[in-house]
Chain A
């Protein structure tokens, strides 16, 4: 048992903090809402080697794992940066898993010469039996893109809304459903005939987003191992969770600092329990979400069957934590927290948009339920062996003995 960060991971995290500190990303987040261009962080990401994080070493990448990717995402979340990794990492990870003769451009993706975006197509569960895409608006999910033809004749059609990092992406990677109804991992060049990306900005100007329209766009069908197409969705969940955890951490740090210095009625406001308990609630949610990032990273590596559960749980907890933390940040700061000049509204905007992307936080919670129910079905009506321990509350003395 060892969940400690390795020396390399500590260095990776520090380097990420250093890289991101060279750009005033939070100020830029505010300026962008007024129409200023957002800083392009891709060159910095390239210099730091992040584009190749999940690509194997023999294909020019760093060959690192989900946890390392999450560490970088967490750092960008802290300062509301968008180094375009939320799309690029799941996409490049899926491409790398499918690496073969016909896989496009892995070396160029590893160096960042090219950038990929992930087309979020949600894997089925016990209630939603089809692969589906986020609606443009409303609750009804759309069908996954369709795939026709084979080899050089393969074509993909479909509409995907609110796709992170899509504008300017060289490659769009996701899932399409073939004529037999089977899912296939596919890659489409961003500049391909029949592929169009319309940039959109919503509420949080830091985030690159686009609506993608594919009309018989030439595609490469990837030879991805079973489960990897779904894993890309869950990796995106975990990465968004990690990014949210970073933002919660800043919201907490800033709020605690203010609660220590701001006085009312002759006392620092942090000495009032309403404030203190609110901030410990932020801490509680933060640490829970962080624990689930460990779960997700461990599952991705050592227990792939549990990865959907773990990544969804992380997303669920982190999304809820971010909303709570952002609101708490505003209220701890009183009036000033509600002004344009303060950073709190920027974290609030980040929270509101993030929680609605890539399926949304509520969908992640339901996915946790789906995974838990499937586990319950698998173990039959009998509770799993470790539940029959008699260590439960069914035995008063036993339950009470630990208190």
Chain B
């Protein structure tokens, strides 16, 4: 058992640290009196900083060299994350692109795709977004209805709506899951596309969240023209491509969870300054319990890394780390607000955190879906009966509409009635 760096890792860490020492003055300031407050300015500064990190070899650490990465492993990625944290500078802006979408393009895209898109993605010149979820397809992602139709000349036309799209407002491209054949069962008629966000017919509308900020969006596609080269992976093979993205999403969340900043030290510091609270047995017990959970997340991360480093698939411990992290952070918000009272709910990081966490429970696979998946794949418990297996998607939709009393499925609040059990990798839910 060893948590220390190997000599090579220590050497790598020293190089990274030294680079950060030299360049930290160029990093955008996010906090304090010197913080950049203008949204546009901030995004521009963070894109430029991502470019610098990429040039310095601190972005896309695990990307292959041929695509501009460092060709290193997850451990080195974590070393870079740790050192960036230590230096007190922001990380890359486009973690969704670099962490999830780029690797998907590497796995399924054409040589032209890789040559055209990966470089600018890595350097922050072009930000990407993940256009998967729809009003009626979230957990049950394979129920997407955004429709792409191939034209005579091989090009495509896209119509439909996506929602909850993080970073769409600043993205140059999106990776979009669309239905290309509604007469096949729902997992079969899907195709993944690259969509230029400035294409004619694309409309991005910000959605305000609990905090009041608009960090994700709804995106409308009105007969958007896409080139014949837009599909990533085979036409009709979109579900497999999507599963690749979701796998990288899990890794990103798993390894990135610590980077979310929900660390026990921070919550302890918020209590430590209150002389009464820190001696209160109830406060201490709650702090102790949630701190234990957060410490567990850290060491679960090390177990995951150990497995990855040894070329193994991470074990069951990693799957539920997000559930632990989110719930422990929610408990921490509760505790801080109980100790500080309404003051904690004023403008500032605590109220932001308290507002952000309920949504995080759903993001990247909801807690219920994660538990279904882990229960079935890790514990080997039987799946639920499903009502959507082997039925052409068009027919499924007709049945749903009937069941919902002919209600029009056009609004964003429309529920999705499809039986959505999580299942095997080929036909599962989003988790």
Q: A1-B309, A320-B289 given as contacts; is B374 within 8 A of A401 (CB)?
A: no
B229 on the interface (CB 8 Å rule)?
no
B202 on the interface (CB 8 Å rule)?
no
B261 on the interface (CB 8 Å rule)?
yes
A284 x B4 contact (CB < 8 A): no
Q: Which residues of A contact B91 (CB under 8 A)?
A: 389, 391, 398
CB-nearest residue of chain B to A4: B306
Q: How far is the CB of A332 from chain B (nearest CB, A)?
A: 11
Interface size class of B (residues with CB under 8 A): 35 or more
B383 x A402 contact (CB < 8 A): no
B34 on the interface (CB 8 Å rule)?
no
- Interface positions, chain B 52-107, Cβ under 8 Å from A, are 75, 82, 84-91, 93-96, 99
Cβ 8 A contact of B292, one of A1, A317, A397: A317
- Interface positions, chain A 321-372, Cβ under 8 Å from B, are 362, 364-370, 372
Q: Which residues of B contact A401 (CB under 8 A)?
A: 93-96, 166-167
- Main secondary structure on chain B at its contact with chain A? helix
Q: How far is the CB of B254 from chain A (nearest CB, A)?
A: 10
A396 on the interface (CB 8 Å rule)?
yes
Q: Which residues of A contact B360 (CB under 8 A)?
A: 403
B352 x A273 contact (CB < 8 A): no
Q: How far is the CB of A234 from chain B (nearest CB, A)?
A: 14
Contact bitstring A250-275, B, C-beta under 8 A = 1, else 0:
00100010011000000110111101
Contact bitstring A41-59, B, C-beta under 8 A = 1, else 0:
0000000000000000000
Q: A260-B381, A270-B382 given as contacts; is B260 within 8 A of A402 (CB)?
A: yes
CB-nearest residue of chain A to B266: A387
A288 x B368 contact (CB < 8 A): no
Q: Which residues of A contact B382 (CB under 8 A)?
A: 260, 267-268, 270-271
The size of the chain A interface, using a CB distance under 8 A, is 82
Cβ 8 A contact of B356, one of A280, A364, A399: A399
Cβ 8 A contact of A283, one of B94, B267, B289, B320: B320
B381 x A259 contact (CB < 8 A): yes
A316 x B289 contact (CB < 8 A): yes
- A384 to B320: give the CA distance in the assembly, Å: 27
Contact bitstring A296-323, B, C-beta under 8 A = 1, else 0:
0110011000000110111011001000
B259 x A283 contact (CB < 8 A): no
- Interface positions, chain B 157-200, Cβ under 8 Å from A, are 166-167
Q: Which residues of B contact A280 (CB under 8 A)?
A: 320, 371, 374-375, 378-379
Q: A283-B316, A389-B261, A396-B213 given as contacts; is B291 within 8 A of A313 (CB)?
A: yes
B292 x A399 contact (CB < 8 A): no
B1 x A3 contact (CB < 8 A): yes
- A276 to B378: give the CA distance in the assembly, Å: 11
CB-nearest residue of chain A to B309: A1
B264 on the interface (CB 8 Å rule)?
yes
Q: Which residues of B contact A317 (CB under 8 A)?
A: 292-293, 296
- Main secondary structure on chain A at its contact with chain B? helix
Q: How far is the CB of B321 from chain A (nearest CB, A)?
A: 9
- A313 to B296: give the CA distance in the assembly, Å: 8
Q: How far is the CB of B89 from chain A (nearest CB, A)?
A: 7
- A324 to B349: give the CA distance in the assembly, Å: 33
Q: How far is the CB of B380 from chain A (nearest CB, A)?
A: 7
Q: A383-B269, A392-B349, A402-B256 given as contacts; is B166 within 8 A of A313 (CB)?
A: no
B412 on the interface (CB 8 Å rule)?
no
List 10 A–B pairs whose Cβ atoms lie within 8 Å, in order of A's numbering.
A4-B1, A6-B1, A273-B372, A287-B317, A313-B288, A372-B268, A389-B88, A391-B91, A399-B260, A401-B95
Those 5 A-B pairs whose CB atoms lie nearest each other, nearest first: A392-B261, A365-B288, A368-B288, A372-B268, A403-B363
Residues of B bordering A, CB below 8 Å: 1-5, 9, 30-31, 43, 46, 75, 82, 84-91, 93-96, 99, 166-167, 211, 213, 215-216, 252-253, 256-257, 259-269, 271-273, 278-279, 281, 283-285, 287-289, 291-293, 295-300, 302-303, 305-306, 309-310, 315-317, 320, 323-324, 349, 352-353, 356, 360, 363-364, 368, 371-372, 374-376, 378-385
Q: A400-B216, A401-B167 are in contact. List 5 more A-B contacts (CB 8 A).
A: A279-B381, A283-B374, A288-B292, A362-B285, A391-B85
